Amino acid sequence: MSELPLLAEKLDAADELAPLRDRFVLDDVVYLDGNSLGALPAHVPGRIEDVVRRQWGELRIRSWEESGWWTAPERIGDRIAPLVGAAPGQIVVGDSTSVNVFKALVAAVRMAGEDRTEILVDATTFPTDGYIAESAARLTGRTLRAVTPAEVPGLLGDRTAAVLLNHVDYRTGRLHDLPGLTAAVHAAGALAVWDLCHSAGALPVGLDEHGVDLAVGCTYKYLNGGPGSPAYLYVRGALQDRFDSPLPGWNSHADPFGMSPAYTAAPGAPRGRVGTPDILSMLALEAALEVWDGVSLTAVRAKSLALTDFFLRCVAEYTAPGRTESVTPGRHEERGSQIALRCPDAGEVMKRLVERGVVGDFRHPDVLRFGFTPLYVGFRDTERAARILAEVLA
């Protein structure tokens, strides 16, 4: 009999993050899809009931001031800041990731100057980033070149305006070298824009430490903000007075209630705002972020790597050789917080896994994705998922 179930129990018993599981609404399902939609923090429904019944129902329009609705985008941005290694005053919450990619990339090109005529984009990126980059290139009169992150240093030059990269590849879970690539982009005189959707909340990012210019990210994956929760935009403090948003809405005006026909940008992070904030989902996110109180990102990263290592070990022991192939890098410095396995019948396999209480997801044409959220996934969950996967594959 395998020793892995007993080892899983021992690892769970020694896990300093294990008590955090009680902060979430969970059941007997092994939920390994937090890299698509994080689990519900248990206190969020009560908080949203207060927002709806009291703040909206009783205070109504007074809540813009009395309940802090107007300042929510910056306030919540400051809650996210330590999770991505940023000082306060550099992140604003609102809009979708796609909209924020557009704002960040066009603003980066404008800051780079007219003589820089090319944008580089991660060819393996999540599709929306590629779509937005293509549109931004057309609108700014630049050319667009799709390249792999590994090719970026060799293709940078004095024509490069901006480079848009994903920190973690959504399909394979590969972690790209944010410090090294950012330094290479800066050495060429260009600006670096990073998409943090699959890294924020799963591992340390270090935006300030590594001099990242602009970054965007969603909040419904490892940050557990809820379906469609608003994204965020990071603008490094030193660049904020030059940040020229392509979407200058009334919420980013220096005097939004002056109703002036002429636009004057607000100082600081509010320049990234556009229109009226989506208050209900934004305040659900604010409540959800409280699960991070007292949590060490170093511990989160250590557990993430331990979980993914353990999963690979279990899959190797339980599964017939050659039945699956990991496309996630084995080296820790190249791995995010998910494991992607290739198998020919991946779509059908995932359906059968879900039926048996193991929830991951399928990516066309042949990839099974399993996301490991250290705040609520344990080692027994991991062993069970690998064991059931082997039974389904058999």
What confidence score (pLDDT) does residue 1 get? Answer: 66
* pLDDT less than 50: residues of the chain: none
Q: How are strands ordered across the β-sheet holding 338-342?
A: 325-326, 338-342, 367-371, 361-363
Q: Which residues are catalytic?
A: 126, 195, 220-221, 369
Whole-number Cα distances in Å, 126 to 1, 38, 132, 278: 42, 18, 11, 24
Among residues 282, 277, 288, 48, the alpha carbon closest in space to that of 56 is found at 48
Helix axis angle, 379-393 to 4-13, nearest 10°? 160
- Residues 226-283 pLDDT 10s: 999 999 999 999 999 999 999 999 999 999 999 999 999 999 999 999 999 999 999 9
In whole angstroms, what separates CA 368 from the centre of its chain? 19
Count CB neighbours of 117 within 10 A: 17
Residue 254 carries which side chain, given as an amino acid letter? Answer: A
The dihedral built from the CA positions of residue 10, 307, 228 and 90, taken in this order, carries a sign that is positive
Q: How far apart are CA 216 and CA 183, in angstroms?
A: 18
Asked if 88 contacts 119 with a C-beta cutoff of 8 angstroms, the reply is no
pTM of the model: 0.97
Task: Summarize pLDDT for 16-50 with one digit per residue, the tens.
Answer: 999 999 999 999 999 999 999 999 999 999 999 99
Say which amino acid occupies 188: A
